[in-house]
Structure 1
């Protein structure tokens, strides 16, 4: 998928309420974005539309919006195409944190600042990146561990609980970091909880359901499931329901609408609240700030708080 958004004053006036605070810049910029895989889940679909809306609200920005469809080779080709177009900045949502480094290096050598969005590239590529804009995935994983541990303590099973983990796509930085944050924090807060196995669910609900089905056959005793996002977590929940395995505590790391609904129903305990709209708007604003010469932190995080059945009334239902 590829299309260009050209901005007009009329469009800006029509949706001025969506404008980012301080987004207007002294110059006109052409900013390209290559996304991971828009069609894979509702978070990425919502992110793309929010990015377009935010760009459309700024009369000084022209954007080239691309989608790699989860294909690393396609994303590398898209970065090279954006370099040839001589865009002023490139935003990349990496399909693979390691594999995209050579393409990011090419953009850097061409004098084009690169902003990484949502999921960071691997550390060897940091020298070629102007800024990362997105959630702190390690903190998200750590907070999910705290949610799980607190619930086990309330239940009186913190000294004996056994859990399984369904992680995201292998090689994908967000998946790696959310797993690391959880695995590092869990023994600090609940040292006797046993993480018996981890398998990838690839951000896919159906695959995660099959992973959970296998876990349920393999393990007679499962007290909790940690999933890298609620889409996978609800897949695991569906497997447990079908097998008649009640009493399992489900915790995710990005609250999807399906996770929110499952929490309302009392089937799913908690997650981390993350907005794709905030994510998209922050990425665009970071690119503009870099081009404007502002002092932008390398790790430009936005906050993602804990959400559980106990405090969910403080949060609106996710739109994705």
Structure 2
């Protein structure tokens, strides 16, 4: 009898010790996620990061965010830093879809699943990527160009205020503009970068309106730049259509009051949730769809209230 009781006590003690051991080291089982952002300061990325942080908190992940401020070399180094930190999952918002390919492959070799958001990466890295959650930049460019065709009746001279030169999003949108306007009598007389910066957009717009005082319309490649463009146009007393892209809160207000003819609705919150859903699926071992487009519908006064304007 004593022997049976002694064995029971030992078993109970072993269970208690095991339970205490699990409770004492919860960090050992915590999922770590690294996010290499093109920039932590750009408005779109700021909302993306906030949403991803909320999802990480809900799921109990440890999230590390590094922002490259639009610098390709800095982003490559930051990706390598996250690989060295041995994160469990790596989310990347590329500055340049070509330059980061070797780093993406390094992450894959290290056994780290890679999730691409915001901008696409060259096909050369496809096998090293677990999931892609991006808006369709070509389609958004096409939608914006079609809005300009509608606003101008298919003819006129316009200029474009671009984002950061060389980014996949910029390249795809410019290609879409050319394809749409090539079927019309609308001519892009100039296209200059403002690097997704509202202050820079004002400077670029002022310079181009001085150079092209008889311009018929302006395409803004990003919603964060549209308010600055509207400001300059109003200061000069011009009545020309401005078409945006992105659907920031400030841009949507201008769509609603008619200052901006139309835009597209690109939600960073929706993109962040799509990325977090992909991570959750990978953690659970589910068959995660590799490529998903995050919707970004054409937006005008008629449907502007349906766009979240979350950046």
Separation in 2 of the partners of 1:149 and 1:299? 31
Show the counterpart of 1:58: 59
Show the counterpart of 2:120: 120
* Conserved? CA contact 1:225–1:233, under 8 Å: no
* Conserved? CA contact 2:255–2:301, under 8 Å: yes
Show the counterpart of 1:69: 69
1:277 aligned residue (264, 269, 282): 269
Separation in 2 of the partners of 1:172 and 1:315? 25
Separation in 1 of the partners of 2:307 and 2:86? 41
* Conserved? CA contact 1:165–1:195, under 8 Å: yes
1:198-239 Cα shifts (integer Å, max 9, x gaps)? 111110112112211122122232221111112222222222
Pair member with larger Rg: 2
Show the counterpart of 1:182: 177
2:295 aligned residue (280, 303, 307): 303
Tell me, which stretches of 5 or more residues in structure 2 are unaligned? 1-28
Separation in 2 of the partners of 1:250 and 1:46? 25
1:197 aligned residue (190, 195, 205): 190
Tell me, which stretches of 5 or more residues in structure 1 are unaligned? 1-26
Q: CA RMSD in A?
A: 1.9
Show the counterpart of 1:257: 249
SS in 2 for 1:75: helix
SS in 2 for 1:196: strand
Show the counterpart of 1:147: 147
The CA deviation at 1:146 is 1.6
Separation in 2 of the partners of 1:212 and 1:170? 17
The CA deviation at 1:291 is 4.1
SS in 1 for 2:225: helix
The CA deviation at 1:131 is 2.1
* Conserved? CA contact 2:205–2:232, under 8 Å: yes
SS in 2 for 1:230: coil
* Conserved? CA contact 1:122–1:173, under 8 Å: no
* Conserved? CA contact 2:160–2:219, under 8 Å: yes
Show the counterpart of 2:33: 31
* Conserved? CA contact 2:181–2:187, under 8 Å: no
The CA deviation at 1:310 is 2.8
Show the counterpart of 1:319: 310
* Conserved? CA contact 2:40–2:66, under 8 Å: no
* Conserved? CA contact 1:104–1:128, under 8 Å: yes
Task: Identify if the C-alpha distance between structure 1 residues 72 and 315 changes in structure 2 by more than 3 Å, giving closer, same or farther.
Answer: closer
* Conserved? CA contact 2:247–2:307, under 8 Å: no
TM-score normalised per structure 1: 0.82
Does structure 1 residue 133 correspond to structure 2 residue 128? Answer: no
Q: Please give the residue correspondences for 1:198-213 in structure 2 after superposition, counting only pairs within 5 Å.
A: 198-213=191-206
Separation in 2 of the partners of 1:129 and 1:251? 34
Separation in 2 of the partners of 1:312 and 1:208? 23
* Conserved? CA contact 2:226–2:251, under 8 Å: yes
Runs of 4+ in 1 over 4 A off after TM superposition: none
The CA deviation at 1:117 is 0.8
The CA deviation at 1:28 is 5.5
Show the counterpart of 1:222: 215
Separation in 2 of the partners of 1:209 and 1:49? 27
SS in 2 for 1:195: strand
